[in-house]
């Protein structure tokens, strides 16, 4: 191990300068030279195999030298594995970093096998996920990169015009990750179903994001018949059980054999009122069972 | 398109295991597919990844369970159907096909030695000779799309014809029945046709047009086969047009030769959903107990009732009609009864051997 000039080392950064979110040591440690030795490929042109972010930070801090160590690497795959071992952020790389790793592997004809995938994503999904990511339009890649949607939502919503996505992303109301996913999926489906062009899609997005509950507002538009059935059921339930210690529940999505009824009896008069309510339900049973 | 033209246009590669390449069915196919030189491999895993698609034919002798209960669907009513794998993978390209979600990157696999499956069917049928055994080859692929090449269905039909309790069904969306019409002993063999309205033709890829399927059904019936019809998947937007299809079927095939009619509505798993980018997917579907998505229950009940009514109206006598992968709630709303309470379905539903714990069907 020896100390080497930061300025000279920066000129020796090569194609393996792939990382932007490296976990750096504390500035005080960098200033005192107490950092891991940066690997210099001894057998080739002395290319620096890892440590770009550390070097850049050292330069910002006015540090003149950092420790380095010459290492032997057999080939590009060996060099990439060394860089990934030193970076040690499996499963935590940004999408930009993953893309850089992926492109490095392709350019250097490195097989993306399970071993490499484990070092990048912590599982076997690296190649498949990258291919899916690279198929996305840039606006959806940005949405995946900033964590506002997952890759599956981005794929499903790919046809949603960019300005409509911007209406959702830029709205003041904060949506949870899962609600944003549901809302975007439904918006995309409504646009597909109704053949909405960009301006109409933007207006739709604007309209739902102004609602008190944007997710529910979108759901009503996506499922108008189901929503009407839910509304009808609520009305019936209110009419039939109002003031009675009885509750009526419909199966989820009106998918199922029947309704569930619950009685809470605290006195004999509760029984009378419940019997009256049951008679009303019996009289209007057709309206109720028409929903199933 | 006739079958030979179809194969020449559609098949680009031919792989096979050594034990399969000398089987009579494969030798027959090789003569017809003279433009393709078979490549020997020890298993499908040896086929290069870029060739693992539906333009590749892979023939092998039988492997795996020879006879299995239809996977059915958990929770919902099962129709007591057994399946054997004959042709796995289907290039017809129906937009709603569940196989898109798991067989897309596999070759069309032909299990070219039917002996183990025939033996298993015979053993089960002889073990309970009074119990009808329905078994078909259309679970993982079209039963007849490649059958003119291999002529394997003929062996099943011929070697099961002496068993009065076996209803062997070849289910298809093609009109490729002519190679089977001269089978001398047909027994209770059933040629099943998936049918749909003409508007759905764009969803069924290279499947035969409805009129050709109906004409094929008519030829099969005239030749002495039992015929089945499968309205699956029913699309809600075409409810009225299914009446016309029912009338066409009734005009083409006498009711006495209709073994059964099944009805199933459009449904999808979350995995399949990602593969479907068609207008019908924007309808309103709800999650069901088996994890699949179907039309709102009351809407599919209305759809089923309309088709059942049309079938009953047009056929001179009511054929056995059942629902595929549906809940008891839907059965009761459509028929006012469960299948084991309907005399015409007793043979299909009530008589089958009991399923052992751990078997796949959800009944």
Q: Which residue of A has its CA nearest to B274?
A: A156
Contact (CB<8Å) A290/B298: yes
- B18 close contact with A: CB closer than 8 A: no
What are the sequence ranges of the domains in chain A? Answer: 2-132, 137-222, 224-289
Q: Give the SS3 label for residue A252.
A: helix
Q: Which of A11-15, A103-107, B101-105 has the lowest mean pLDDT?
A: B101-105
**Searching chain B, which residue's CA lies closest to the CA of residue A223?**
B284
User: Among candidates A185, A187, A189, A121, which has minimal Cα distance to A153?
Assistant: A185
Predicted pLDDT of residue B361: 36
Task: Record the tokens describing residue A182, joined without a space.
Answer: 């549901």
Residue of A nearest to B332 (CA): A257
Return the DSSP state at A45.
T
Using 50 as the pLDDT threshold, list the residues of chain B that sit under it.
352-363
Which sign, positive or negative, has the C-alpha torsion A41, A45, A46, A48? negative
Q: What is the ipTM of this complex?
A: 0.85
Number of helices and strands (H, E) in chain A? 16, 5
> Residue B133 and residue B80: Cα distance in Å, rounded?
8
Rounded Cα distance between B221 and B189, Å, is: 11
Q: What does the DSSP assignment read for B122-148? A: HHHHHHSTTS-EEEES-SSS-SSSSHH
Task: Name the one residue in this structure whose structure tokens are 């932007």.
Answer: A20
Beta strands in A12-139 (DSSP E): 38-41, 65-71
pLDDT at A45: 59
**Averaged pLDDT, A5-20:** 93
Distance from CA of B278 to the nearest CA of A (A): 9
d(CA A71, CA A159): 49
Quick check: A292 and B297 CB within 8 A?
yes
| A155 vs B contacts (CB less than 8 Å) | 274
Q: Is A259 helix (H, G, I), strand (E, B) or coil?
A: coil
Q: Which of B279, B286, B332 has the CB atom closest to A253's CB atom?
A: B286
The verdict on a CB contact (< 8 Å) between A226 and B296 is yes
CB neighbours (10 Å) of residue B139?
Answer: 19
Would you state the pLDDT for residue B9?
85
- Cis previous bond, B233, omega within 30: yes
Contact B297 A258 (CB under 8 A): no
pLDDT tens-place string over residues A17-36: 999 999 999 999 999 999 99
**Closest chain A residue to B329 measured between Cα atoms?**
A257
Question: DSSP letters along B224-269, please?
Answer: T-EEEEEEEEE-GGGHHHHHHHHHHHHHHS-GGGEEEEEEEE-EE-
Q: Which element (helix H / strand E) includes A246?
A: strand A246-249
A66-70, A172-176, B213-217 — which one is most confidently predicted on average? B213-217
Nearest C-alpha neighbor of B35 from the set B1, B2, B5, B60: B5
Beta carbons of A252 and B287 less than 8 Å apart: yes
Strand residues in chain B grouped as ranges (E): 13-16, 39-40, 56-60, 68-69, 82-83, 87-88, 108-111, 133-136, 166-172, 190-195, 226-234, 258-265, 267-268, 285-287, 293-295, 321-323
A135 touches chain B (CB under 8 A): no
Compute the distance between CA of residue B3 and CA of residue B174 in angstroms, rounded to an integer: 9
Q: In this structure, are residues A116 and A105 in contact, taking their beta carbons and an 8 Å threshold?
A: yes
Nearest residue in chain B measured CA to CA from A288: B298
Does the distance separating the beta carbons of A229 and B282 come in below 8 Å?
Answer: no
Domains of chain B in sequence order: 60-350 (3.80.30.30)
Q: At B220, is the secondary structure helix, strand, or coil?
A: helix
Residues of A in contact with B280 (CB under 8 A): none
Does the beta-carbon distance from A254 to B327 stay under 8 Å?
Answer: no
DSSP lists the bridge partners of residue B169 as B136, B190
Measured between CA atoms, how close is B289 to chain A, in angstroms?
8
Nearest residue of chain A to residue B76 (CA atoms)? A256
**Closest residue to B329, CB basis, from A224, A291, A292:** A292
- For A78, the token pair is 């060996």
A159 → chain B, closest CA residue: B277
- Residue ranges of A 204-243 with Cβ closer than 8 A to chain B: 223-226, 229
* CA-atom Rg of chain A in angstroms: 30
Q: What does the pLDDT read at residue A43?
A: 56
Residue A256: what are its φ and ψ, rounded to 5°? 160, 175
Q: Which of B281, B284, B329 sits opposite A256 (nearest CB)?
A: B329
- Best to test chain B binding among A151, A253, A286, A291 (most B CBs inside 10 Å): A253
Whether residue A254 and residue B286 make contact (CB cut-off 8 A), yes or no, is yes
Q: Do A253 and B299 touch (CB under 8 A)?
A: no
Q: Distance, in angstroms, between B341 CA and closest chain A CA?
A: 17
* Interchain CB distance below 8 Å, B282 and A193: yes
Q: What is the pLDDT of residues A266-287, one digit of tens each?
A: 898 989 888 988 999 999 999 9
């Amino acid at each position: 191990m020896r100390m080497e000039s930061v300025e000279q080392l920066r000129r020796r950064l090569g194609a393996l300068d792939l990382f932007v979110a490296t976990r750096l040591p504390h500035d005080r440690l960098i200033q005192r030279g107490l950092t891991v030795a940066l690997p210099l490929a001894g057998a080739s042109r002395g290319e620096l195999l890892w440590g770009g972010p550390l070097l850049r930070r050292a330069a910002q801090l006015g540090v003149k030298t950092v420790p380095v160590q010459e290492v032997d690497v057999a080939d590009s795959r060996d060099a990439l594995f060394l860089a990934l071992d030193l970076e040690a952020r499996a499963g935590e790389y940004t999408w930009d970093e993953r893309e850089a790793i992926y492109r490095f592997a392709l350019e250097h004809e490195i097989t993306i096998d399970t071993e490499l995938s484990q070092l990048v994503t912590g599982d076997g999904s690296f190649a498949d996920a990258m291919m899916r990511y690279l198929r996305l339009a840039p606006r959806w890649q940005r949405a995946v990169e900033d964590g506002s949607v997952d890759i599956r939502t981005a794929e499903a919503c790919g046809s949603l015009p960019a300005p409509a996505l911007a209406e959702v992303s830029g709205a003041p109301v904060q949506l949870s990750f899962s609600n944003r996913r549901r809302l975007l999926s439904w918006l995309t489906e409504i646009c597909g179903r109704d053949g909405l062009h960009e301006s109409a899609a933007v207006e739709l997005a604007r309209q739902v994001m102004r609602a008190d509950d944007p997710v529910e507002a979108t759901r009503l538009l996506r499922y108008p018949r189901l929503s009407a059935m839910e509304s009808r059921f609520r009305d019936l339930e209110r009419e039939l059980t109002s003031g009675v210690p009885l509750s009526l529940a419909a199966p989820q999505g009106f998918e199922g054999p029947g309704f569930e009824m619950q009685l809470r009896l605290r006195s004999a008069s509760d029984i009378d009122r419940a019997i009256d309510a049951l008679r009303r339900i019996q009289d209007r049973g057709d309206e109720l069972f028409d929903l199933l | 398109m006739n079958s030979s033209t179809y194969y020449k246009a559609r098949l680009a590669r031919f792989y096979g295991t050594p034990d399969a390449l000398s089987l009579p069915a494969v030798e027959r196919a090789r003569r017809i597919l003279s433009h393709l030189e078979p490549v020997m491999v020890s298993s499908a895993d040896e086929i290069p990844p870029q060739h693992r698609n539906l333009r590749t034919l892979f023939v092998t002798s039988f492997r795996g369970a020879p006879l299995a209960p239809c996977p059915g669907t958990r929770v919902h009513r099962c129709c007591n159907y057994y399946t054997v794998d004959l042709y796995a993978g289907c290039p017809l390209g129906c937009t709603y096909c569940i196989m898109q979600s798991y067989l897309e990157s596999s070759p069309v696999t032909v299990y070219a030695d039917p002996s183990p499956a025939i033996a298993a069917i015979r053993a089960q049928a002889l073990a309970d000779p009074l119990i009808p055994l329905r078994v078909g080859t259309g679970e993982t692929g079209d039963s007849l799309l490649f059958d003119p090449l291999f002529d394997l269905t003929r062996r099943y039909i011929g070697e099961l014809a002496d068993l009065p309790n076996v209803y062997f069904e070849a289910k298809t969306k093609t009109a490729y029945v002519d190679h089977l019409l001269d089978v001398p002993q047909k027994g209770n063999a059933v040629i099943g046709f998936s049918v749909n309205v003409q508007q759905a033709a764009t969803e069924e890829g290279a499947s035969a047009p409805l009129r050709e399927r109906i004409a094929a059904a008519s030829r099969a019936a005239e030749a002495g086969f039992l015929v089945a019809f499968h309205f699956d998947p029913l699309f809600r937007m075409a409810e009225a047009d299914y009446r016309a299809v029912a009338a066409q079927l009734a005009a083409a095939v006498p009711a006495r030769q209709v073994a059964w009619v099944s009805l199933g509505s459009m449904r999808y798993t979350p995995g399949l959903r990602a593969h479907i980018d068609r207008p019908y997917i924007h309808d309103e579907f709800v999650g069901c107990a088996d994890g699949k998505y179907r039309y709102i229950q009351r809407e599919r009940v209305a759809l089923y009732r309309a088709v059942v009514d049309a079938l009953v109206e047009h056929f001179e006598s009511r054929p056995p009609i059942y629902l595929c992968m549906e809940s008891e709630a839907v059965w009761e709303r459509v028929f006012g009864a469960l299948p084991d309470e309907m005399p015409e379905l007793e043979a299909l539903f009530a008589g089958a051997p009991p399923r052992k714990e751990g078997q796949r069907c959800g009944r």
